Structure 1
């Protein structure tokens, strides 16, 4: 008691002191704030991440500064309790740089999404420190190196997306330890090795995609343990062996693709009985054999079915229950038995109401084409029956499939006339009927197929004349009607098909008359063959205007006269056959100057004189001369006789002729000099009177002539209203440039030159074509010469990408939707600059796809300011003295009020922009013949929104023509989904800009805001 009483006050004081100290720590003026060290670590890690970014085109990381807390930076999400970073999401901002290893210090991170950017270098091993990480999405970048084995420490991972990179090496075996992993995607890399049995340990795995790599070996049976597996994508590899039969028992499977491997064996008869959810079945381009299992009838959910290019045999079973079937590919097998029963399954296909593409090409199907083929899906766009043994007449009912875009019936045994019902194919773009026994005339109905760009009727028994209605096919770029029995002359209308670019083949017929001089109108034709006919007369010199020709075959006719020297203008010509004709005279020396000529055959004519020794004549294996008895000289390997020495008794006569020629030459030269002097005086006066061009350094004609190889046709890259554009180089420029040479004979060309110089001399914007210099001088003949020099755009014009079928452009990697939306934004940015940011308002006045150029990175640049107008500001309002009466512009893109004399305005440019947007999204030009009864592009879109988006969207964006496109779409997530709401927003912008009343059109400020919102929404909504 005494002890307690003595120390009780002391204990009390100690207790009070402790409470007081605790109070000060928590609530006092110098309270200790609980700031975990981790916050500083996260902040530092993010700063290091930003330092590794070398290019940020959308200035996404501008918010990453000290003015706001890092938890509020764009793309960052923090936990409310600890204020630690739990999400770093910068998907689709086109960031360029390496991924900083400091990201591994964000130890609370749950979601890391850097997909759809341009990251390069290796994936840091430090990511293995992110033990809380659930979603790692690095897809669609340029990461290289191997998949880090340390990722196997991220035991909470559910989604691992590494596809569309440049990764190498094997899939780490340790991945099998990720028990929570649901999605594992590594497709389109350069991975090797095999699929290890570890795959069976991923008990939660639902999606596994390693398409488009170099993976070998077989599919391990352990994969059958994955009872939740829905996506299995193994195509485009080097896998082999047989498919484990247990795979067909995984009822959750919706997508199964092993296309383009080396698998063999047959499909079990009950394959599809246990796959009720199967939507995609791709096993094409393997070595599968045996019959198609009849159990396919139970796969009622199937959408994509491809067994093409295998060794399947027998009859095709009933497919009538596959009501969702969209794509059916049976081509390249041994199906059918050349019997009348082979095509009976067509009747069951009439229940497949959404069938879009159907191919039985390259099989053994026989019998006649049944009438009920006309009852197939109205959605059917692609039908391929080629390379079979189908016989008889083509049923007229086939013409009921009015949605067909591509019809291939080549190399069968069809007889009779081409049905008149084919005239209903108003959407037809590619029609192939070659290699049959069609007879009668080429029907006039061909002229109704205005969308046609590919027509192949060769190797039939067609007769009569070529009907002039062919002229209506103004999109035609490939025309082959060779090896028939056609008579008459070649109609001029054929040469009015300016779109012809790939091929015109009229060979092996009985055509008579001359080759019309209008052949020179085919300036884009690459292959021209009229051989083995009965043509006569001279070879027209206008053939030299076909500057794109690579293959010219005139052999086996009765052409006479001399070989035209104008052939030397065909600088890209590789093959020339003039044999078996009645040509006379000497061989033009200029033929040896065609640099690309690899084969020349002029045998069996009546040619005489000296054979040249250079160019193609310098190789005896490349030139044919037999049958011309009066030829001499040439290289020794041709074994021709030496040319005779001139007779001495004619020496005096020759001397007299030499003197006469000398006198005449002197007089000609004197007249020429006087003429040049007079022209120079006139030109100097004209140049003196021309408006001045300030602030642009000028370049000489000699420099441009040298830089384009004498304005060679090989360097010609385009032509327009006022001249031609050449690719060239200048001593003062390190890179290739584009040189626009004005045709000063064209009315308005002088004014266009001055307008374009003055419009572009003071403006600079990333989305405008940069003018480098100009030339205002005289050429070597004393003629006035004017040219503009611009930055060269490697990827050409937007028109070449939107309409390659018209312009003979080969852009296999077509513009996807992302590219198109970026280009729309780029063009809007250029217009915003011209309308809002220049000291002097500039009206473009001719905005259209051919005036939008694409650089190496597919960034759009607006060009061609040849009819632009500069508008001064007077009293705070825009003032322009020039009305649009007489302004040409371009039909379809020029606003309607300009045609009624209204003055040019920004609203006119907005109309052109709106039409451009609609054209990019629909793939249809405003002058498309598709529009009938007064309908136009604006109405076509307005009448379909918002419910029928698929009917107006460019077929190239939703096309199922190629397996590669389908495979990509499947890899991205089975059914190709398009954010309809965002697309409608873009369509609405196009519609609101192209309203007929000018006051109802959007201005560029509002357009820019709307585009920014719609674009961000679209890219944020894309499936990873």
Structure 2
């Protein structure tokens, strides 16, 4: 730091001549170098930055101008494995037009001195670990055309100064940070803006209607924030827009019919909000639309005929709404480019569209996936289905399963679970593989493959005439009795709810907790006790004074019941955890299903408190607090990975029922006071069918998304929930824990994945990809260890990375078994202890 201060002082003392200005550029570069950590791989890269041997314009990553050959105009050090902080001296490179430091490991704050770069046109600091706020001084870079600050740890609000004088700004990417506050309406004052991405932040409030004035905007993504209120009707003025993503917010109201004016729109994603009302028929005017995602809202009514005539559509997602009506017979025949349709969990009725039987026509070869499960579809199956994957589960279908379906060459996966099918199950074609079709929940089926464990089919004698005559009478009497019983139960429940006030629900074997108990324990759900917040709920730290529970400190997860899918995650988590007991699973203390003090439904899950937070907190510590100084050594990381593997082995193979977690990632690995890891957040978990293979699908798994970067490739292709999928996610977690790189880091966007990144370096560049702090530990320990002990530690690192690669294999059946993972990690840990 003293050297860098001397350099800055020397800059101030230099005379204002052209030679002095050139010398100032060289000194600024040397100051930048001095702020980096030389022990990292980036230090090797900057070894050429030596004033005594080469001219600075020839240094790697440096480019000088043509008209001013001694002035630095570009600094391009993208993905160069640089660590350290950004020197303020870069603000002295007065001719700099491009600064690209993306995809490194830089930390600290963005220097406000960068605002002095009056000629700067492109600024890329994405994919680092920068903290603090966005400096308002950057707004002084009036010639800036593009700024990319994605995937850092920036906080605070979007500075108004960015919008004040940047009339040339065309590309603004701020996604993947922790920005909060409202979206400034002054963003509408950026006349040249074309791409605007603010996704994956914590922005709140309403979307400014003034954004509708950005008529040159071609890309707008503000998904995965906390935005509320309506979608501005002024968005209909964005006629140049090709992609609009407002998903994963809390937007309400109806879908504006003005969106039908966006003739250039190719992608529209409004999913995971609380939108209501009908789908406007004006969307049918979007002649270029290929992706339509409006799932997981509160939409009702029918799908307009105009939507079924949008010939450009390739993907339609309307699942998890309250849409109704019949699906037109020719619904899919007018969509020649259609690939996937998600319509499950709605109120559609009638019969299966005849057009799916003709999907094998030459114009329909791309249409491979249709999900209309959990609706009210009735009647029988067509004899021909020209699809690769079809989900018809949880409907009212009846009759026999046509044997001809087994001979369809395209059909590979068929879900007929929880219907009213009867008779013999075919054994030909796709029906010869029990892992390719699903028939559970149909009580009157028989025969089929032995793996299905169905009763054999017997010929039944014909019914007598008087039995047939009595059957309708018996059915009517039973139905009337059932209806009266149901009305009585509903009346009793409704009366009790109105007279008893707040209730409490007990989870068998767990203590009873009331809403008022939780209010007291969390100090009225005080913000000071807030541990974190997500899509489905908020988690608070709580303390019980009574003897009602066997622990004093707890974590209380309060569900946001107004959020789509929140109730389903509550049910799933309770179902999976209620009978599971394991040292490496987060212990559920109890649940609370009650009424709050406003008369609204209230649901919460109470867990043991984890004093050391999550694995994510340790891999990416916030340097602004004391926890930012902590880090994990190799032994601790291996032990944590072993704990997680033991937890997965239990829920996959040794629990009361086989289950898949479906969301294994660092934020769901929690650490107690003794640094023992516990797997938590089972909100997406699925209980697999008893006795089935690990690839057997859960009855409610269709439409599953998972977490990007951790979800296995087969979930995107066919949504097959399995224990193999958990192993893939675990493999990515292993690679992330050792390398310190998220699978969604910016460097992995251009066709390179975290897995490939590790695989390429495994033979001879292992220490180049290992987490910086872990690498420093190993190097420092080398001074106190003999060569054989040091080599054994490197071998352990390689073994852990190889294990991660084996678990994250693209083919599900090629991945390791959890039992083998546990044994391998035990051996690695023993090797580390033997030093």
Q: Give TM-score scaled by structure 1 length.
A: 0.45
- Assess, with a 3 A threshold, how the Cα gap between structure 1 residues 120 and 717 changes in structure 2: closer, same or farther: farther
Q: State how far apart, in whole Å, the 2-side matches of 1:201 and 1:801 are.
A: 39
Q: State how far apart, in whole Å, the 1-side matches of 2:354 and 2:650 are.
A: 51
Q: Deviations over 1:294-350 (max 9, x none)?
A: 22222111121111122222221233553332221011222223xxxx110x62432
Match of 1:365 in 2: 348
Q: State how far apart, in whole Å, the 1-side matches of 2:715 and 2:318 are.
A: 33
Q: Deviations over 1:463-510 (max 9, x none)?
A: 334623x4xxxxxxxxxx69x76789xxxxxxxxxxxxxxxxxxxxxx
Q: Which moved more, 1:797-806 or 1:177-186?
A: 797-806
The counterpart of 1:150, out of the listed 137, 144, 147, is: 137
- Assess, with a 3 A threshold, how the Cα gap between structure 1 residues 855 and 828 changes in structure 2: closer, same or farther: closer
Q: State how far apart, in whole Å, the 1-side matches of 2:150 and 2:47 are.
A: 29
Answering whether residue 104 of structure 2 is matched by residue 117 of structure 1, we say yes
CA-atom RMSD in angstroms: 4.6
Match of 2:56 in 1: 70
- Assess, with a 3 A threshold, how the Cα gap between structure 1 residues 805 and 315 changes in structure 2: closer, same or farther: closer
Shift of 1:804: 9.8
- Assess, with a 3 A threshold, how the Cα gap between structure 1 residues 856 and 140 changes in structure 2: closer, same or farther: farther
- Assess, with a 3 A threshold, how the Cα gap between structure 1 residues 427 and 858 changes in structure 2: closer, same or farther: farther
Match of 2:771 in 1: none
Match of 1:106 in 2: 93
Match of 1:809 in 2: 726
> More relative contact order in 1 or in 2 (CA 8 Å, sep 6+)?
2
Q: Indicate if the aligned counterparts of 1:279 and 1:302 stay in contact, CA closer than 8 A.
A: yes
Matched residue SS, 1:366: strand
Q: Indicate if the aligned counterparts of 1:800 and 1:809 stay in contact, CA closer than 8 A.
A: no
The counterpart of 1:464, out of the listed 443, 446, 449, is: 446
Q: Deviations over 1:661-709 (max 9, x none)?
A: xxxxxxxxxxxxxxxxxxxxxxxxxxxxxxxxxxxxxxxxxxxxxxx99
Q: State how far apart, in whole Å, the 2-side matches of 1:302 and 1:294 are.
A: 14
Match of 1:224 in 2: 212
Match of 1:477 in 2: none
Match of 2:335 in 1: 352
Match of 1:284 in 2: 271
Q: State how far apart, in whole Å, the 2-side matches of 1:246 and 1:126 are.
A: 37
Match of 2:327 in 1: 343
Q: State how far apart, in whole Å, the 1-side matches of 2:86 and 2:73 are.
A: 17
Q: State how far apart, in whole Å, the 1-side matches of 2:812 and 2:649 are.
A: 30
Q: Which moved more, 1:64-73 or 1:441-450?
A: 441-450
Match of 1:415 in 2: 398
Q: State how far apart, in whole Å, the 2-side matches of 1:239 and 1:328 are.
A: 24
Answering whether residue 162 of structure 2 is matched by residue 170 of structure 1, we say no
- Assess, with a 3 A threshold, how the Cα gap between structure 1 residues 378 and 449 changes in structure 2: closer, same or farther: farther
Q: Residues 424-435 of structure 1 correspond to what in structure 2 (within 5 A)?
A: 431-435=414-418
Match of 1:244 in 2: 232
Q: Indicate if the aligned counterparts of 1:364 and 1:389 stay in contact, CA closer than 8 A.
A: yes
Q: State how far apart, in whole Å, the 1-side matches of 2:418 and 2:400 are.
A: 14
Q: State how far apart, in whole Å, the 1-side matches of 2:376 and 2:200 are.
A: 35
The counterpart of 2:319, out of the listed 324, 331, 351, is: 331
Q: Deviations over 1:739-765 (max 9, x none)?
A: xxxxxxxxxxxxxxxxxxxxxxxxxxx
Q: Indicate if the aligned counterparts of 1:442 and 1:462 stay in contact, CA closer than 8 A.
A: no
Q: Indicate if the aligned counterparts of 2:384 and 2:405 stay in contact, CA closer than 8 A.
A: no
Match of 2:600 in 1: none
Q: State how far apart, in whole Å, the 2-side matches of 1:373 and 1:208 are.
A: 39
Shift of 1:383: 1.9
Q: Indicate if the aligned counterparts of 1:830 and 1:862 stay in contact, CA closer than 8 A.
A: no
Matched residue SS, 1:109: coil
Matched residue SS, 1:396: coil
Shift of 1:798: 14
Q: Indicate if the aligned counterparts of 1:97 and 1:118 stay in contact, CA closer than 8 A.
A: yes
Q: State how far apart, in whole Å, the 1-side matches of 2:446 and 2:240 are.
A: 60
- Assess, with a 3 A threshold, how the Cα gap between structure 1 residues 162 and 440 changes in structure 2: closer, same or farther: same
- Assess, with a 3 A threshold, how the Cα gap between structure 1 residues 247 and 385 changes in structure 2: closer, same or farther: same
Shift of 1:366: 0.6
Q: Residues 932-1011 of structure 1 correspond to what in structure 2 (within 5 A)?
A: none
- Assess, with a 3 A threshold, how the Cα gap between structure 1 residues 388 and 486 changes in structure 2: closer, same or farther: farther
Q: Indicate if the aligned counterparts of 1:298 and 1:321 stay in contact, CA closer than 8 A.
A: no
Q: How many residue pairs were aligned?
A: 514
Matched residue SS, 2:445: strand
Match of 2:756 in 1: 821
Q: Deviations over 1:118-150 (max 9, x none)?
A: 222211111111111111111122111111111
Q: Residues 512-661 of structure 1 correspond to what in structure 2 (within 5 A)?
A: none
Answering whether residue 80 of structure 2 is matched by residue 93 of structure 1, we say yes
Match of 2:372 in 1: 385
Matched residue SS, 1:351: coil
Match of 1:444 in 2: 427
Matched residue SS, 1:198: helix
Answering whether residue 173 of structure 2 is matched by residue 210 of structure 1, we say no
- Assess, with a 3 A threshold, how the Cα gap between structure 1 residues 715 and 393 changes in structure 2: closer, same or farther: closer
Shift of 1:388: 0.6
- Assess, with a 3 A threshold, how the Cα gap between structure 1 residues 194 and 300 changes in structure 2: closer, same or farther: same
Q: Indicate if the aligned counterparts of 2:213 and 2:237 stay in contact, CA closer than 8 A.
A: no
Considering only CA atoms, is the larger Rg found in Structure 1 or Structure 2? Answer: 1
Q: State how far apart, in whole Å, the 1-side matches of 2:247 and 2:794 are.
A: 35
Q: State how far apart, in whole Å, the 1-side matches of 2:715 and 2:83 are.
A: 28
Q: Deviations over 1:850-871 (max 9, x none)?
A: xxx999999985599xxxxxxx
Shift of 1:924: 8.6
Shift of 1:359: 0.6
Shift of 1:52: 2.7
- Assess, with a 3 A threshold, how the Cα gap between structure 1 residues 422 and 162 changes in structure 2: closer, same or farther: farther
The counterpart of 2:28, out of the listed 42, 45, 54, is: 45
Q: Indicate if the aligned counterparts of 2:78 and 2:102 stay in contact, CA closer than 8 A.
A: yes
Q: Deviations over 1:613-650 (max 9, x none)?
A: xxxxxxxx9xxxxxxxxxxxxxxxxxxxxxxxxxxxxx
Q: Deviations over 1:703-724 (max 9, x none)?
A: xxxxx99xx9999999xxxxxx
Q: Deviations over 1:552-582 (max 9, x none)?
A: xxxxxxxxxxxxxxxxxxxxxxxxxxxxxxx
Q: Indicate if the aligned counterparts of 1:826 and 1:861 stay in contact, CA closer than 8 A.
A: no
- Assess, with a 3 A threshold, how the Cα gap between structure 1 residues 714 and 448 changes in structure 2: closer, same or farther: closer
Match of 1:548 in 2: none
Q: State how far apart, in whole Å, the 2-side matches of 1:363 and 1:799 are.
A: 25
Q: Indicate if the aligned counterparts of 1:453 and 1:806 stay in contact, CA closer than 8 A.
A: no
Match of 1:753 in 2: none
Q: Deviations over 1:18-70 (max 9, x none)?
A: xxxxxxxxxxxxxx998521222222222222233336437432332343222
Q: Indicate if the aligned counterparts of 2:330 and 2:354 stay in contact, CA closer than 8 A.
A: no
Match of 2:789 in 1: none
- Assess, with a 3 A threshold, how the Cα gap between structure 1 residues 715 and 447 changes in structure 2: closer, same or farther: closer
Gaps of 5+ in 2: 1-14, 459-575, 582-589, 591-641, 653-674, 677-709, 733-742, 767-792, 816-835
- Assess, with a 3 A threshold, how the Cα gap between structure 1 residues 103 and 801 changes in structure 2: closer, same or farther: farther
- Assess, with a 3 A threshold, how the Cα gap between structure 1 residues 825 and 232 changes in structure 2: closer, same or farther: same
- Assess, with a 3 A threshold, how the Cα gap between structure 1 residues 716 and 372 changes in structure 2: closer, same or farther: closer
- Assess, with a 3 A threshold, how the Cα gap between structure 1 residues 416 and 262 changes in structure 2: closer, same or farther: same
- Assess, with a 3 A threshold, how the Cα gap between structure 1 residues 717 and 389 changes in structure 2: closer, same or farther: closer
Answering whether residue 46 of structure 2 is matched by residue 61 of structure 1, we say yes
The counterpart of 2:188, out of the listed 200, 206, 213, is: 200
Shift of 1:222: 1.8
Q: State how far apart, in whole Å, the 1-side matches of 2:415 and 2:223 are.
A: 30
- Assess, with a 3 A threshold, how the Cα gap between structure 1 residues 109 and 189 changes in structure 2: closer, same or farther: same
Q: State how far apart, in whole Å, the 2-side matches of 1:444 and 1:331 are.
A: 31
